[in-house]
Amino acid sequence: MAKLREEDEILKQKIKLRLLGLREKQGDSKSGISKNIDVDRQNFQPWENLKSKRGITIYSLNRICKALGITLKEFFDDELFR
């Protein structure tokens, strides 16, 4: 896998922070969301882990947004991304 640019690494970290924040705000567990989107919990875990090099695809993020009851636009319409 090619090395990401610094700006891409920053975006990846912001996505992880936003995902974690939304999930915790709604009181959902990693296991609960994982089951809801048909993803193994072990695959879900790195998407929120700031130390993990692994990012999330837009397709998986879209499924998580649907499970959380928001759109991708709402996900990215946050101060974190401004």
- Residue 33 · residue 48 · CB < 8 Å: no
Nearest partner of 74 among 39, 13, 25, judged by Cα = 25
pLDDT in tens, 14-67: 999 999 999 999 999 999 999 999 999 899 999 999 999 999 999 999 999 999
Domain locations in the chain? 6-81
Instruction: Measure CA 60 to chain center.
Output: 8
Cα separation of 66 and 35, whole Å?
Answer: 13
Contact (Cβ atoms closer than 8 angstroms) between residue 30 and residue 44: yes
Tokens of 80: 């974190």
pTM: 0.91
What's the CATH code, domain 6-81? 1.10.260.40
